[in-house]
A = this chain, B = another copy of it.
Amino acid sequence: MEKKFQNHIISNFSFLKDKKLLLATSGGIDSMVMTYLFHKLNLNFALAHCNFQLRGTESNDDETFVKQFAKENKIECFTIQFNTENYSKEYKLSTQIAARKLRYDWFHELIEKEKFDYVATAHHLDDQVETFLINFSRGTGLDGFTGIPSVNGNIIRPLLIFSREEIEEYAKENQIQWREDSSNASDKYVRNKIRHQVVPVFKELNPSFLSSFQNTLENLKQEQSLINDAVQNAYQNVVIEENNQLKITISTLLSYTNYKAYLYQWLHKYGFSAWDDLFDLVHSQSGKQIFSDEYVLLKDRAFLILSKIEKKENEEYIINSITEKPNFPLNFELCNLSDISNSLKNIIFVDESKIQFPIKIRKWKEGDYFYPSGMQGKKKVSKFFKDEKFTLFQKQDTWILESKNEIVWIIGYRADDRFKIDNTTQHTIKITFTNEKNI
């Protein structure tokens, strides 16, 4: 058993050697087995534990357990406490989604701040089966069936090929300690039903069910890649990007008998829901429009034209002083020098003396240029967008912070070199941007 674990890590995760790793550790059996395993392999890692404060003292005991374990084994350990309930209410998210967002946002913060190379989570094969069947029970498409990837950017899931049974055996053999019931998922009831009532039937019908399931996942992933090819190929034939709009040429679109499938694939990320009406647009009279929260699709003679709904009234925000709380989710904070850490996507540190109030937040416009931090010289913002492969709508969504007609920050993406702190800086301003949608 141990050999299988180690061989898997050695052969499929060889890139972890000499990397700085962060293990997401709830204190449950899966993450403790993962920790033990990484320890055995002498990998260089720290632990990260989220206390979502959803189960009172139990949550706190989990935190204590992980901290204690880390201390005893001399492993660096990061912990954080989230007010998950409040957060989920504020952003109108389910507890589950809120917890996931808080967790991964924090991981990414730690990656940047502490220079980790990868974060590992302890998802295993039974998690995959359960998620598949939960999605099946709710109704889904192929994307609900393809599972979570074992490597996704800097998030890795090294236990994905192992069953719960194997992990339990390994924990027993190696007398690994763990905390029961450390899941915070609000889909717990559903997951337990699937785990205890459905999956055992499949395992009874097919003794090698889990391995068949792995093949199924692999097949579906391959098929997903074919879909991506078809979607991209047709997009190139049918869609024109111009003037901040996507123009879909109806005649070319209709050369695909399954054009509805293409429209869905191209447009579902823009939040449309009235799909039948949207499909009908192809044949309806010019001028008809279908709306999502932020986008509109217009039938305009030979085209369907997708554009962002402009909210003109919100286009500029003036902030008069550092103490003013702007009508925009941007926070200011005067810092001691000792508090300064690296800039993050949503946080920058600037020299107070270089900023001149009032400052302004506005959308990008043609002709804008700035001095990207970490680079020599100036750059057109449009060139920056192009290099970063921004989509049309990402460009439109991006906010600019400016002081005296100079760009201070492409908010959420890149600071300007002219305003950065240096060894002459007396006072530092920390600017935090918390607009959910743009980060």
Contact = CB atoms under 8 A, between A and B. Distances in A.
Interface of A: 136-142, 145, 190, 193-194, 197-198, 201-202, 204-206, 209, 211-213, 215-216, 219-220, 222-223, 225-227, 229-231, 233-234, 256-258, 260-262, 264-265
B227 A205 contact: no
Contacts of A197: 197, 201
Given A225-B258, A229-B233, A229-B258, 13 more contacts: A137-B206, A137-B209, A139-B206, A142-B219, A193-B204, A194-B205, A222-B261, A223-B223, A223-B261, A226-B230, A226-B231, A226-B258, A229-B230
A137 B227 contact: no
Number of copies: 2
Contacts of A140: 216, 219
A140 B136 CA distance: 15
Contact of A233 (B222, B225, B233, B261): B233
Nearest to A260: B222
Closest 4 CB pairs of A and B: A139-B212, A141-B219, A230-B230, A222-B261
Contacts of A225: 257-258, 261
21 contacts: A136-B202, A136-B216, A137-B202, A137-B206, A137-B209, A139-B211, A139-B216, A141-B216, A141-B222, A142-B219, A193-B205, A222-B258, A222-B261, A223-B261, A225-B257, A226-B231, A226-B258, A227-B227, A227-B230, A229-B234, A230-B230
Nearest to A140: B216
A121 to B, nearest CB: 25
A216 B134 CA distance: 13
B139 A223 contact: no
Contacts of A212: 137-139
Contacts of A201: 193-194, 197-198
Contact of A215 (B139, B233, B256): B139
A262 B230 CA distance: 12
A163 to B, nearest CB: 15
Nearest to A256: B229
Nearest to A222: B261
A275 to B, nearest CB: 11
Contacts of A215: 139
A203 to B, nearest CB: 9
A26 to B, nearest CB: 25
Contacts of A202: 136-137, 198
Given A197-B201, A222-B261, A223-B261, A142 B139 contact: no
A216 B145 CA distance: 11
Nearest to A142: B223
B222 A264 contact: yes
Contacts of A138: 206, 212
Nearest to A232: B230
Contacts of A256: 229
A234 B213 CA distance: 28
Nearest to A200: B197
A198 to B, nearest CB: 5
Contact of A142 (B142, B194, B229, B262): B142
A231 B225 CA distance: 11
Nearest to A135: B216
Nearest to A233: B233
A257 B228 CA distance: 12
